[in-house]
C-alpha cells in the first residue's frame, strides 16, 4: 500500500462531535482535507454551518446535526440522522466535552452529573449506536478524545477527571469486543491545548506558567497539533492499532 493510500479517506464518512471549533474543528478539517464527507454534530447549529462553509474548500459533502451530547434522547435522534444522511458512518470522533471547576469538597452534584452525561455517557451511547453499524458493515474507526486526566487527578476538576478516566477504560473495552469485526477503537489524550476549555488556565498567569514549565516541548499545544494523530487513527495506517490511548502532550507524561 502506498503512502498516499494509507491516509486516503475519499468516499469515507466521518462524524465529529463538537466539530465546529477547537480540537473538534481541527479534526473535521483534516478529515475533510483527506477526502472524507463530514457530519458535524453540536449544540449550536449556526456555528456548525459556519464550519461547514469553511470545509467546502475541500470539495466534500457536509451535514450538520444539532445535538446536545449530554441528552440521551438527542443522541439517539442524532445517530439516526447521521446514518440517514449518508447511509453509513466510517469514522466517529467523540470530541464533545465540558468542564466545570470547583474544589472536590464543594463540587455540586448537578455539575458532576452534567459533566458525566456529556463526556462519558454521550460518548458511550454514540459509540454504541454508530459502532454497531460499523460491526455490521465489517469495519470502522472510532476515536475518543480523552485527556492527560485519564492518567492523573488534576485539581478542581473531579468530574472531568472521572469522565476522562472512564472514557479511556471504555475505549479499551469496546476495542476488545469489536477488534475482531474490523472496528478499531482508540483514544487521543491531549496535553494542554489552547482551546476555550482551557481558557481559565490560560488566563491565570501563575497556573499557566507552572504548567508551561513542565512541558518539555516548551509550549502549549494548538488544536492543529492533534490533526496528524487523528488522521492516523482514522485511516488505514492504523489498521493494527486497537485499544490504545495516544498521548499528544509535548512530552508532559515523560517529564
Residue 207 belongs to a domain: yes
**How far is Cα 94 from Cα 124, in angstroms, rounded to an integer?**
9
What range defines the domain where residue 111 resides?
A: 3-244
Residue 160 annotated in active site: yes
Grade residue 2 by pLDDT with cuts at 50, 70 and 90: confident
Question: How many other β-carbons are positioned within 10 Å of the β-carbon of residue 118?
Answer: 23
Residue 1 pLDDT greater than 80, yes or no:
no
Residue 199 belongs to a domain: yes
pLDDT, position 3: 86
Indicate the number of domains in the chain: 1
pLDDT digit string, tens, across residues 90-114: 999 999 999 999 999 999 999 999 9
> Which residue matches cell numbers 459509540?
127
Residue 13 pLDDT greater than 80, yes or no:
yes
Mean per-residue pLDDT of the chain: 97
pLDDT digit string, tens, across residues 118-131: 999 999 999 999 99
Residue 185 belongs to a domain: yes
Question: How many other β-carbons are positioned within 10 Å of the β-carbon of residue 97?
Answer: 26
H-assigned helices in 65-184: 72-86, 109-116, 122-137, 158-178
Residue 250 pLDDT greater than 90, yes or no:
yes
Residue 250 belongs to a domain: no
Which cell numbers hold the place of 242? 486497537
Residue 254 belongs to a domain: no
Q: Are 79 and 65 in contact (CB under 8 A)?
A: no
Residue 230 belongs to a domain: yes
CA 191 to chain centre: 13
Residue 249 belongs to a domain: no
Among 160, 192, 208, 240, the active-site one is: 160
**How far is Cα 249 from Cα 37, in angstroms, rounded to an integer?**
28
CATH code of 157's domain: 3.40.50.720
**How far is Cα 28 from Cα 55, in angstroms, rounded to an integer?**
8
Average pLDDT over residues 157-175: 98
Residue 253 belongs to a domain: no
Contacting residues for 244 by C-beta, under 8 A, at least 6 apart? 186, 187
Amino acid at each position: 500500500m502506498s503512502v498516499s493510500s494509507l491516509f486516503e479517506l475519499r468516499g469515507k464518512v466521518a462524524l465529529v462531535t463538537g466539530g465546529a471549533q477547537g480540537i473538534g474543528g481541527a479534526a473535521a478539517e483534516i478529515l475533510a482535507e483527506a477526502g472524507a464527507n463530514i457530519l458535524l454534530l453540536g449544540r449550536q447549529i449556526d456555528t456548525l454551518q459556519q464550519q461547514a462553509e469553511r470545509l467546502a474548500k475541500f470539495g466534500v459533502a457536509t451535514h450538520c446535526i444539532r445535538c446536545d451530547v449530554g441528552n440521551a434522547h438527542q443522541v439517539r435522534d442524532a445517530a439516526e440522522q447521521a446514518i440517514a444522511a449518508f447511509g453509513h458512518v466510517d469514522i466517529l470522533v467523540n470530541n464533545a466535552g465540558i468542564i466545570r471547576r470547583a474544589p472536590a469538597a464543594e463540587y455540586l452534584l448537578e455539575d458532576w452529573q452534567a459533566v458525566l452525561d456529556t463526556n462519558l455517557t454521550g460518548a458511550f451511547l454514540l459509540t454504541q449506536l454508530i459502532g454497531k453499524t460499523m460491526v455490521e458493515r465489517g469495519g470502522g474507526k472510532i476515536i475518543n478524545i480523552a485527556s492527560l486526566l485519564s492518567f492523573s487527578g488534576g485539581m478542581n476538576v473531579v468530574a472531568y477527571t472521572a469522565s476522562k478516566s472512564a472514557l479511556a477504560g471504555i475505549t479499551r473495552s469496546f476495542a476488545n469486543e469489536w477488534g475482531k469485526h474490523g472496528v478499531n477503537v482508540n483514544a487521543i489524550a491531549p496535553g494542554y491545548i489552547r482551546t476555550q476549555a482551557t481558557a481559565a488556565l490560560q488566563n491565570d498567569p501563575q497556573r499557566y506558567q507552572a504548567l508551561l514549565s513542565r512541558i518539555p516541548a516548551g509550549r502549549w499545544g494548538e488544536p492543529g497539533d492533534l490533526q496528524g494523530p487523528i488522521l492516523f487513527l482514522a485511516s488505514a495506517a492504523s489498521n493494527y492499532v486497537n485499544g490504545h490511548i495516544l498521548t499528544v502532550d509535548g512530552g508532559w507524561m515523560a517529564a
